[in-house]
Structure 1
Amino acid sequence: MMRKRALNRISRPVGFLGVLLGVSVFCVFQYCVALLRLTDQSSGMANKFSALARDKYMDFLILENLYVLLAYLILGVCFAFVLQPFACLLCAKYRFFQGWKRFLPGVIGAFLIHGYFTLRLVETRPYFLDDAKFGYWYYEILNVVPDVAKPVVFGLLFSVLPVAILGYVLVWHWRGWTGARRLIAGAAVLGLSGLIVWKAGLFGGTARGKEMADDGERMNVIVIGSDSLRGDKLGYSGYVPRRKDGLAAGGVSPVIDELAGRSIVLENCYTPIASTLESGTSMMASQYPHKHGFRHMYPNKERVLQTQAETEPIAGVLAQKGYDTAVFGDWCAGYFELMPLGFENVSVSSFDNFKIYMSQAVMMAHFVVPLYFDHPVGYAIFPQLGSFAQFVTPDVVTERVEKRLGNVSKKGKPFFWHVFYSCNHLPYRNPEPYSSMFTDPNYMGPNRNGVDFDIDSFIGGTDLENKWNVLPKKEIQQIRDLYDGCTRQFDDNVGKILAALEKNGLAENTIIVITADHGDNLYEEGVTLGHGLTFNGELHANHVPLVFHVPGMETRRVNEIVRTIDIAPTITKLLDVEQPASWQGRSVAGWIDGSEVPEDRAFYGETGFPFIQFRVNGVERPKLPPMDQMTEIVESFNYQFVLKEEFEGPLVAAKQRCLMTKDWKLICTPSADGGRHFDLFSYAGDGYEKVEPSAGNDAEFSSLRKALESWMDEGIETPAAGIFSGI
């Protein structure tokens, strides 16, 4: 027995605590660097909210920084566990690591592991690195490997190697443990495995409604959308990306293109407002913004409660008919926490509020959190990670949908679901392979993994138009290519949902709708980036895709204008459910089943919150302060950002409005002196061209202006046929 213990002492010259001491040096260094990073970020921001965080919420920031110490404690123990076998080897072989220097292998090993996992992050989730402000030397190391060899090399390096090392470490410790320690270790492994399975099971969302029950063979409906997905940037619309090699050879949307080929495609669908909360409410409640009351993205509590009381969203209508209703999404779908829109089951990230922003700033400054805790166990330890944009990824959303499809297929109850992704939203960050799928492989500029977005300028100033206008063509092309990768990521997730429908025997009884809340501007003529800010250009920010796949119906394409407020009435008509009288949209189900001839419809729209007031020639626009001065944080309303009451009227009065028919477009821009400036455009075959009102088109101009002002001032929509009826 004494000899065995002596052998153990010889074979293990460094104890666990000795290695842990060395790892602790690494953890203290990382913690201090994170605090300095957080301080630099805060002091470098000049907007009102950063000052508010420092002045009023310092206690909260301190507590968050103390809470994150748990991550360093867990990391230190895990690192020491992994490094002890190698520390013992070094100390046994090299006399340098004797005496007080025995803790050095723990220090060196911790930094090596950290560097390894950072390289792994570059390959798997590069969007995290931009937030950490890290340099590009990581990319240069990985680029040493030839492209043709990367799959094999990276597979061995980032998948096989860690498994092999972990296996060696476990065997090494197991051989040195006594029977009691082995029992404890086995119990720990079983407990951890159970925790992982349990937390993964929780990802299905929280049910707010009654249990599903058996039902008949009524059609299911699943509406799948991506925030900021443009109607003209999909393959079926004729779009071809710049790159066509490698993974890009399939185009930006091979799955959706195939689905569109056996569906009804409505090629000219527009949202009345290009801002998520407002447009989502318009689509689900079939009402214009002036009707449902959300005129911007920062409503107060009273407005939210009033809208909830006065609208009749389609999810609520179908729930009353026995449908299971659920919404799934990541951070862009967070508004459903604020405004559930009739859905009984909500599985989304929390809606934007100031405390979430502050907590995210802390967690992202401590880079060990996204690096080592982006998994189910990490979410159990740090639940707030589920509210952060970077952690609830599109893949997580899709997994939730797949799981619930498996459950609902066994129940037989019809369902109405909405799946809403953030894939195409600024700043266009996504993981590999999408991040580089369509971009120039030689590009190494500031927009490598996403738009180099200055949030301080966005919320604290209104001069971004000047900054974005000076981008060189190379940067613009990179941004467009990133957007294409975002679309492909969305397309792949759509493919997984379609496969899950097939797997569960639901494909032949499910209506599938592909759409978006709004589009985005991508440096077309007259515009830069963003949405809901202007009607300059070709209304790309309001143009969304609309594909209706109805099993058994013939494929067709419709060119006439439709609106997102027409989607809910169309679905209820297809399901033979009566639509509420409060809905303002009109069904196009007859266009889909071929029983009606499509007719021209008029599009009416308004801009959203004025983060930027884009210039309009010949108009001095009303002056509005930046976002951080127009809004406030209301603690009693879950720390939501809310527009100050004194800006409600001026904001609405400053909005641009638009009326568009198949032949004409009229844009109204309010001026600083209280007047209204109108720009007239006529359709020229491949777009709308600006024309001056003259004797030749005076009647059309007058009719359009009368209809637009009637909608603006009285909320009355004049149908397309009625606009020119007097001419």
Structure 2
Amino acid sequence: MGPNQAPFFPIRIFKISLYYSVFFYLFFLLFNTSFTIMGVDVGDFLKQYLGAFFGVYLTTTAKVFAVSLFIHTSLFTLVHLGFSFWNRSVVKWYFLVGSVLLIECFALFQSMIMFPQIYGEFFFFRYPSFAPFLYFLTDTISPMVPNFVLGILVFLLLILLARHVYLHKNKESFFAILHVLVLGFVHAHGLYLIGLLYFVFVISQGKHYENVHIKTYGLLLIFLLFLYVLPSFWMGISSLLYSEVKGKPPIFILSADSLRYDKIGAKINGQSITPNIDLFTKDSFVFHDHHTTIPRTFPSWADTLTGKYSMEHKIRDMFPSPEEKQRIGSTSFPTLQQILKKIGYDHFAIGSFAADIFPRANFGFDEVYAPNFNARIMTVQRTTETQILILPFLVGSWFSGEKYLEELDGLSTWGDGTRLLKRFDSLVNERGKSPYSITYFSSVIHFPYTPAYPHYKRFTNPQYYGKYKYLKFVDPTDASLPNQEEISQIRSLFDSAVYAFDQEFGEMVGYLKTKGIYDEAIIILTADHGEALYEDIHGQGHGEHLRGESVTHVPLMIKFPKSSKFESVPSIEKNFDGITSSIDLVPTLLDYFEIPSQLEYPGKSLLTILGQKDWREDRFVYSETGIWFSDVGNHFFQKQRIPYPNILSLHQVVPEEDYQIMITDPIYRETIAFSKHRSIQNSNYKLIYIPTREGVRFELYDRMRDPLNKNNLYPNHPMASKMRETLYKTVVKWENASLAGEYLIPSSLSDINEN
């Protein structure tokens, strides 16, 4: 140890940490990197962008390594601190390395038990021979066991620190206290760059801490403790800025990706998988035949929040072009949030990976607490996933830390709603009963169906040991049908994910009740689309076809304030059986707030039928398919569809749009629109329009007698011609489409004049 090195933090410790970080970073980068995403090899795709994207990749690598270096260095300094308090002699490097590795392994075990889905690719694609170890952990060990071990280590460090302070009360002791507090603060807030600068400062100062007056240490200690309580203190102060406004209640749109209507109240072994939602139905109007306009997330939310069809505003898939994106929030397509903003509302969006659509267009939110989606962020995710020793600290499975890399919010395998609920509670606590809205969008039910511990065990078979034990990997090119045991496991995972969202929903409703907000709030429960789970030949997923009830039929429940006139409706009369559409939400809320609009909406205000059982007229609602990601497979819809290239060939990474992934070629966009399957349905029948290379095919199904849509009644059924005419009229009106024989020819974006 040099003469100017701090005894607790010699340069030797930082060197060991640097070597350790570099070794494991490169080791996992070499042996744990995969170019497979949901079963699709994107290696060739990445090569196309290697030249233009190389600088971004280097930046990403540096960022992930910096986080890794801070975490490892923090652990090494804390371990060395503990050894120094216990025994003042120099600790061998291998004791330090072994201790840090042991701590990280316990954290990894705890994380694997909490979130086995995050490590699914490692155990089932890259190193499947290690899968039995994961089975052993999740089957036999509670996460409390590694938690307890890690907690004991932290407790011992604090005891040793307290003992040293009590015995010595010197500057060395106070410096150690400040060090622990600084690392804790940086870790809790994910400020790894500040943490690295702090380490540089510690190294450069050496033993100069002895020159600092003892009172200065006291002031620094008070300042650090103040920083710890500052967020709560600031929240309390800022909450005083917002107050209740009569007639403008808080609005909560609580939703889950892929939540099917038929899962609400469904029972397994006599137990409902949605107990909290079941209770909510007693306080709300329930619309039992509610349908989404398009079973893909981005266009579905665009339709819901603008009250307009995707065929009109042109967000028709997950990868809109810049010109199409800009139409959302324009004068022709204002969102619900923008409209309510004019009467004093603020708006917030909270969500996990599927909520990445909210930052990608102008939906009118004041703050979006959701991940973005672009090639740069995907690179951060793929690079970080390789580093399994630091993943437990990054996903906050132990001792916080989930704020290091905001890009990890977009991990499809991180199905934990805890961090979302924290954000929800924080906003509610700050805003209280003032005019604001929160759109909460959970992704836990979206494939790959990843509920966290203990929910992934809720309804699954404990004796099942296969690749779907913890999640359902998705390969859009694979049309093979799993066996019955696998299908049962996949459905059980889905049900477990539904239960996990129900718990999130219960937490939110419970918090609103605790804060005295629930009674006078508007609360809406819905979903962007449903999910096919191997019913008949329908396969698994959403957006590829319109057969059956599972992909468009979603929940809709609305609870109005107790003081509103609608709450006088008896509970028995709050169930509406007529068909409704996701485009009904905007006109309903505009009607509630008595906001006039110059725009014509295709949806209807639901206020006019509250207390009734059905529409007085025969109502029809429209839906269409999303984009087909793959152009191969033996699926029934692949045999029917007009082909175009797969998604890896269609889209481009656009650096000017923050490396957004977009389909920019107008010919491809028009082909996608032309090829879509479309449907019109009422309470009893569904007609599906299917353009093929051989001509247009129509399918007509009896929804009541044939919910799986097996028996095509077209063209001989009396409803066939009426529904076909209604479909054509709807598309011609709202898309400004034209007819070429039986084919619908979509309007081009270039033909539309934006106001």
Taking every aligned residue pair, what percent have the same amino acid on both sides? 21
Report whether the alignment pairs 1:639 with 2:659. Answer: yes
The verdict on how the C-alpha distance between 1:161 and 1:603 changes in structure 2, with shifts beyond 3 A counting, is same
CA distance in 1, matches of 2:387, 2:424: 31
Given candidates 463, 477, 482, the residue that maps to 2:488 is 477
Counterpart residue identity of residue 395, structure 1: T
Report whether the alignment pairs 1:226 with 2:226. Answer: no
Report whether the alignment pairs 1:124 with 2:114. Answer: yes
Report whether the alignment pairs 1:680 with 2:700. Answer: yes
CA distance in 2, matches of 1:569, 1:617: 34
CA distance in 1, matches of 2:360, 2:86: 56
CA distance in 2, matches of 1:589, 1:523: 36
Given candidates 98, 104, 107, the residue that maps to 2:94 is 104
Given candidates 167, 170, 184, the residue that maps to 1:179 is 170
The verdict on how the C-alpha distance between 1:666 and 1:615 changes in structure 2, with shifts beyond 3 A counting, is farther
Which residue does 2:590 correspond to in 1? 572
Given candidates 16, 31, 36, the residue that maps to 2:30 is 36
Aligned counterparts, 1:573-588, within 5 A = 573-588=591-606
CA deviation after TM superposition for structure 1 residue 157, in Å: 4.2
CA deviation after TM superposition for structure 1 residue 75, in Å: 3.2
CA deviation after TM superposition for structure 1 residue 311, in Å: 0.5
Report whether the alignment pairs 1:626 with 2:626. Answer: no
CA deviation after TM superposition for structure 1 residue 79, in Å: 3.0
Contact 2:254–2:525 (CA<8 Å) still a contact in 1? yes
Which residue does 1:725 correspond to in 2? none
Aligned counterparts, 1:133-532, within 5 A = 133=123, 135-142=130-137, 145=140, 150=142, 156-157=148-149, 160-171=151-162, 179-192=170-183, 196=188, 212=242, 215-235=245-265, 239-241=266-268, 244=269, 250-309=271-330, 310-350=332-372, 352-375=373-396, 378=401, 381-386=404-409, 388-389=411-412, 393-409=416-432, 412-454=433-475, 458=476, 463-464=477-478, 466-467=479-480, 469=481, 471-532=482-543
Counterpart residue identity of residue 26, structure 2: C
Counterpart residue identity of residue 581, structure 2: R
Unaligned residue ranges in structure 2 (runs of 5+) = 1-6, 190-226, 236-240, 737-755
Contact 1:221–1:417 (CA<8 Å) still a contact in 2? yes
Helix, strand or coil: the match of 2:688? strand
Helix, strand or coil: the match of 2:584? helix
The verdict on how the C-alpha distance between 1:451 and 1:176 changes in structure 2, with shifts beyond 3 A counting, is farther
Q: Deviations over 1:629-688 (max 9, x none)?
A: 111111111211111222011111111111112222211111124x20112212443626
CA deviation after TM superposition for structure 1 residue 71, in Å: 3.0
The verdict on how the C-alpha distance between 1:124 and 1:59 changes in structure 2, with shifts beyond 3 A counting, is same
Contact 2:256–2:443 (CA<8 Å) still a contact in 1? yes
The verdict on how the C-alpha distance between 1:426 and 1:436 changes in structure 2, with shifts beyond 3 A counting, is same
Which residue does 1:4 correspond to in 2? none
Q: Greater shift after overlay, 384-393 or 306-315?
A: 384-393
Helix, strand or coil: the match of 1:478? helix
The verdict on how the C-alpha distance between 1:322 and 1:441 changes in structure 2, with shifts beyond 3 A counting, is same
Counterpart residue identity of residue 45, structure 1: D
CA distance in 2, matches of 1:190, 1:216: 45
CA distance in 2, matches of 1:593, 1:482: 37
CA deviation after TM superposition for structure 1 residue 131, in Å: 4.3
Contact 2:64–2:380 (CA<8 Å) still a contact in 1? no
The verdict on how the C-alpha distance between 1:638 and 1:558 changes in structure 2, with shifts beyond 3 A counting, is same
Q: What is the RMSD of the two structures over their aligned residues, measured on CA atoms?
A: 3.6
Contact 2:544–2:625 (CA<8 Å) still a contact in 1? yes
Contact 2:117–2:470 (CA<8 Å) still a contact in 1? yes
Q: Deviations over 1:12-58 (max 9, x none)?
A: 9x996666666656434311222203655489935543223434322
CA deviation after TM superposition for structure 1 residue 715, in Å: 3.2
The verdict on how the C-alpha distance between 1:91 and 1:52 changes in structure 2, with shifts beyond 3 A counting, is farther
Helix, strand or coil: the match of 2:641? coil
Aligned counterparts, 1:553-572, within 5 A = 553-555=569-571, 556-572=574-590
The verdict on how the C-alpha distance between 1:192 and 1:620 changes in structure 2, with shifts beyond 3 A counting, is closer
In the superposition, the TM-score normalised over structure 2's length comes to 0.80
The verdict on how the C-alpha distance between 1:477 and 1:433 changes in structure 2, with shifts beyond 3 A counting, is same
CA deviation after TM superposition for structure 1 residue 449, in Å: 1.6
The verdict on how the C-alpha distance between 1:67 and 1:15 changes in structure 2, with shifts beyond 3 A counting, is closer
Contact 1:85–1:169 (CA<8 Å) still a contact in 2? no
Tell me how many residue pairs correspond in the alignment. 667
CA deviation after TM superposition for structure 1 residue 168, in Å: 4.5
Helix, strand or coil: the match of 2:96? helix
Q: Deviations over 1:376-423 (max 9, x none)?
A: 9856654544555567952222211211111222xx532233211112
Helix, strand or coil: the match of 2:622? strand
CA distance in 1, matches of 2:229, 2:448: 28
Which residue does 2:41 correspond to in 1? 45
CA distance in 2, matches of 1:52, 1:279: 31
Contact 1:262–1:554 (CA<8 Å) still a contact in 2? no
